[in-house]
Structure 1
Amino acid sequence: MATTSESSSEKEETIFQGKVFNDPIHGHLELHPLLVKIIDTSEFQRLRFIKQLGGAYFVYPGASHNRFEHSIGVAHLAGELLRALRTRQPELGITDEDILCVQIAGLCHDLGHGPFSHLFDGNFIAKQRPEKKWKHEKASIEMFDHLVKENDLEAEMKKWGLDPTKDLEFIREMIYGPLDTEDTQDNGRPYEGRSEDKSFLYEIVSNKRNGIDVDKFDYFARDFHHLGMKNNFDYRRFFHFARVCEVDGEKQICVRDKEAGNIYDMFHTRYYLHRRACQHKVHTNIEAMITDAFVKADEHIKIKVSGGGVFTLSTAIDDMKAYTKLTDRVFEKILFSSSTKLREAQQILKRIISRDLYKFLGEMQTNTPTSLPKDVRNAWKEELKKPLTDGLNPEDFVDLVITLDYGMEDKDPVDHTNFYSKNNPDKAVKLPREKVSQLLPTNFSETIIRFYYKKTDETSVSAAKKHFEQWKKNQEVKM
């Protein structure tokens, strides 16, 4: 990681101050001293207490891994990929500073996750503060800025040859994407941290063009390992065949043409992981229950910060000091609370522990048209406005929309991927589908609407199932 101008003593200092981690996925990996400095902050250590797969831990007991080790893995893979590119293509001018910045982005890309990861922003905040349009990526750059300020890291960055003004902007852009959309419209360039000849650096951690990035490479390997499932995608092979080519005046990471089938397999691996674990019907049920508990507990959870500020579960996102204190531990705080104000939320969480879950009524599945899920949900909401028989209460029904895709909604991500050939390694081309395989998928997204019922007594559940099945038959006739 040392720059070419460093003396021998400076290089020895880098090695001495770095740290070796024994990771169950990548083996022994060594991280730069600046990365270690970030890892040792309370803002980063918080990730030890946020489950990587959220509520999946209650379905798969091995899925106890956290955002902490995933983030370290992403930083490691970012460095490995860039060093591989630099070795094969020294003309790219990849500097040690470039590698360090990309690794910092990989390390910090998930700083903004809340309790139980995607449950917090995708379910809880979306329900409690829908006007906020808040996502964890936005919180990640806010937490990163807070981390840098609280720990005086600008001075540490300068020590290792980074420019806090330019390089901090570069790191934020790699985590979140283009930061100034108005400026993008004015000059046509989405990024400011690096010039056009380094545009490929933005595809390492979070690839906005086609989704092929080291974030996926790590969580594929890590999630499958802890779920006890087999991962069929080998990122090391991708590293070997990745190459930077110029595409319409822009430098992009391209893949060897013979690897096209493996790229499709990679995206199918993502689909398989979501179908088997992330969107497992018991997992989504449990996350709906945790969300309900958090909603009921929201105003009664008090997070105090220095200076006298007090925040709730849903308002902690407005203050990074408060948000630093918010982790999965809020589950235990509710579960073991003696406060009567948290009693309703507590009862829901106790049901999860005892496996007294919401009852699954059924589901409806579609891949076209894209408006159908919204139409079905609206029809179901209208149905629940009608007088219900057998003592059924509309508030006891839950409907969840689950989308399974290749990462780009209904688009084929390989259409946004460029390839090169062995005989012409500097020319990027698109590959027609028929040249890849005759057995490729034609649809790249499917939507499932799942219906649950909160009560568990046989009489109510039987009545709820009967009502749902009759409504479902009526909807299928209309479709």
Structure 2
Amino acid sequence: MMTASTSWTLSSVFNDPIHEDVEMHPLLVRIIDTPQFQRLRFIKQLGGACFVYPGATHNRFEHSIGVSHLAGKLVKELKERQPELQITCRDFLCVQIAGLCHDLGHGPFSHLFDKMFIPKVSRGRTWKHEDASVAMFDHLVDQNELKMEQHGLVLPEDLDFIKEQIAGPNDRIIQEVSVTVWPYKGRPVEKSFLYEIIANKRNGVDVDKWDYFARDSYYLGLQSNFDHDRYINFARVCDVDGEYQICTRDKEVDNLYDMFHTRFSLHRRAYQHRVVNLIELMIADALVKANEHIKIEGSGGKMFRMSDTIDDMEAYTKLTDHVFEQILYSSSPELTEAREILENITHRHLYKFVVDSRREISQDQFEDWARDVARSWNLDAKDFVRSVIRMDYGMKEDDPIDQMRFYSKKDPTKAFKISDDQVLYLKPKSFSQQQIRIYYKKEIDEQTMDAIKGNWCSNFPKPQDEIMANRPRCGLLSAKLHISSWDPDFFSHLFVFSVPVF
């Protein structure tokens, strides 16, 4: 774990396994040393992935420090390279604070909480962890009486700027450069590039991803080919239709495709791993069953259910991954069902995998099928679970590089869009992939399971594009590589070795 020096007057130095020596401004250290931020030590970065990848026990605490460090590094480079941008010390510190606090709102097991648990217990409610990050930041500043003005910040302007970097302007997301009204209050349009550093809504190239690509790959034992230091070295701000965007050299398009491929690969190999997925479904089911029976004290002594703590930051501060052990080791009769699910995880008695299909299957179609199967084999239709898995390059079916702007060595002030001819050999066949996974919650014999799988295949045969994707693309490759699984980038990358693909 990271350690800090005892100096309070100068920048403190944290030792990080990814970025090595990380210097932190005294105000950042003051934020780190609060209960609201220390809470992140007890929230795993990758949720249930540690049940499949033993090393994936890192947490939101260290990730947040890494994001703050990379944010400061990028701003510093831009300030030194382009003094005409008039980046101030206030800008520098605000961006670092936003990077440090962008994940304050995560719940137990990170995305499991906001993607799986909250939708099940608060149906119809739109809630994102970014909303809670802003609320927790306000709570942190208030409860710890942070005197941010003493460090040169101007209130409320700089507080608005910090929160806008985390969650956007009043939940409005800028997706097109043609927006006519500048919606941010913290900084004027001349400094629009500062909003692309922590959470880049335009194209997804931001320091948040850079840290978790490097950090997650390190702890998962996987390799990341993206070089964020190289991107920082070539980063430059250019005027694009009246807004100032962070651009990079045209020759760096290869590095950027590596970045987006790294994202897709991490989702395919780890975040959306089949066993990770089903274990997280089990944890979510346990939390749902325990929701009514676990009470957490919040403001004014009021008691909250887990799902209601998102509306009270005092209570939410006390909700971390420890709820897993709280349920697992409880002797309360009310928690029996939830406890049994978690005990099954610890004994590796997991939900049974039925099928994985790329065919579009609606919830209604799935429920009809589950009822038919349940009647045929005397099972309970409610024990079948449908999970929709989506993996992409960050912009669904679109190529995020289309939203990037580049500059050339000859004219570094002029931004342009890269041509398709320049990246033809880098583009994957598709930028997104959707899979439908079906699980069964109870113990079942192999013969019955085989029959159920056969029933699924007869009712929902593979679409033609999936069949073709799983077939060899040429005889030579088939003989040498025995390709049996679909990888959206595999064949495009073969161009590097001059292998013709038809």
TM-score (norm 2): 0.88
1:202 alignment partner, SS class:
helix
What's the CA shift string for 1:246-288, capped at 9, x where partnerless? 0000000001000111111110000001111000000001000
Which residue does 1:9 correspond to in 2? none
The yes-or-no answer on 1:130 pairing with 2:123 is yes
The yes-or-no answer on 1:172 pairing with 2:163 is yes
Alignment length (residue pairs): 456
* Alignment equivalent of 2:237, drawn from 241, 244, 247: 244
The structure-2 alpha-carbon separation of the partners of 1:476 and 1:320, relative to structure 1 and needing over 3 Å to count, comes to same
TM-aligned CA deviation for residue 383 of structure 1: 2.0
- Residues 179-218 of structure 1 aligned to structure 2 (within 5 Å): 179=170, 181=172, 188-218=181-211
TM-aligned CA deviation for residue 316 of structure 1: 1.1
Aligned partner of 1:34: which letter? Answer: L
TM-aligned CA deviation for residue 186 of structure 1: 11
Would the aligned equivalents of 2:41 and 2:59 in 1 still touch at CA under 8 Å? yes
Would the aligned equivalents of 1:210 and 1:417 in 2 still touch at CA under 8 Å? yes
- After TM superposition, what 4+ stretches of structure 1 lie above 4 angstroms from structure 2? 180-187
Would the aligned equivalents of 1:453 and 1:464 in 2 still touch at CA under 8 Å? no
The structure-2 alpha-carbon separation of the partners of 1:457 and 1:470, relative to structure 1 and needing over 3 Å to count, comes to closer
Aligned partner of 1:141: which letter? Answer: V
What's the CA shift string for 1:185-219, capped at 9, x where partnerless? 99711211100110000000000000000000000
Aligned partner of 2:160: which letter? Answer: E
TM-aligned CA deviation for residue 389 of structure 1: 2.1
**Matched residues in 2 for 1:228 and 1:358: separation?**
26
Would the aligned equivalents of 1:70 and 1:222 in 2 still touch at CA under 8 Å? yes
Aligned-residue CA RMSD (Å):
2.1
Which residue does 2:455 correspond to in 1? 470
* Alignment equivalent of 2:30, drawn from 18, 23, 37: 37
1:315 alignment partner, SS class:
helix
Which residue does 1:68 correspond to in 2? 61
**Matched residues in 1 for 2:33 and 2:22: separation?**
17
TM-aligned CA deviation for residue 15 of structure 1: 7.3
- Residues 62-461 of structure 1 aligned to structure 2 (within 5 Å): 62-153=55-146, 156-179=147-170, 181=172, 188-365=181-358, 372-373=360-361, 375=362, 377-386=363-372, 388-458=375-445
**Matched residues in 2 for 1:193 and 1:273: separation?**
34
Gaps of 5+ in 1: 1-12, 367-371
Aligned partner of 2:414: which letter? Answer: K
TM-score (norm 1): 0.92
What's the CA shift string for 1:389-433, capped at 9, x where partnerless? 222111111110000100111110000000000001000000112
The structure-2 alpha-carbon separation of the partners of 1:451 and 1:477, relative to structure 1 and needing over 3 Å to count, comes to closer
Aligned residues: percent identity? 57
Would the aligned equivalents of 1:199 and 1:251 in 2 still touch at CA under 8 Å? yes
Would the aligned equivalents of 1:392 and 1:463 in 2 still touch at CA under 8 Å? no
2:39 alignment partner, SS class:
helix
2:105 alignment partner, SS class:
coil
What's the CA shift string for 1:117-143, capped at 9, x where partnerless? 000000000111022211101111011
Aligned partner of 1:87: which letter? Answer: E
What's the CA shift string for 1:301-350, capped at 9, x where partnerless? 11012522000111111111110000000000000001111111111001
TM-aligned CA deviation for residue 440 of structure 1: 1.6
**Matched residues in 2 for 1:37 and 1:28: separation?**
18
1:398 alignment partner, SS class:
strand
**Matched residues in 2 for 1:30 and 1:400: separation?**
42
Aligned partner of 1:381: which letter? Answer: E
**Matched residues in 2 for 1:99 and 1:382: separation?**
56
Which residue does 1:4 correspond to in 2? none
**Matched residues in 1 for 2:212 and 2:179: separation?**
36
Would the aligned equivalents of 1:217 and 1:235 in 2 still touch at CA under 8 Å? yes
1:451 alignment partner, SS class:
strand
**Matched residues in 2 for 1:183 and 1:232: separation?**
29
Aligned partner of 1:383: which letter? Answer: W
**Matched residues in 2 for 1:447 and 1:128: separation?**
25
**Matched residues in 1 for 2:123 and 2:395: separation?**
23
Which shows bigger deviation, 462-471 or 314-323? Answer: 462-471
What's the CA shift string for 1:64-90, capped at 9, x where partnerless? 100000000000000000001111111
**Which of the two has greater helix per residue?**
1
1:455 alignment partner, SS class:
coil
1:132 alignment partner, SS class:
coil
**Matched residues in 1 for 2:280 and 2:402: separation?**
34
**Matched residues in 1 for 2:320 and 2:78: separation?**
37
Aligned partner of 1:64: which letter? Answer: T
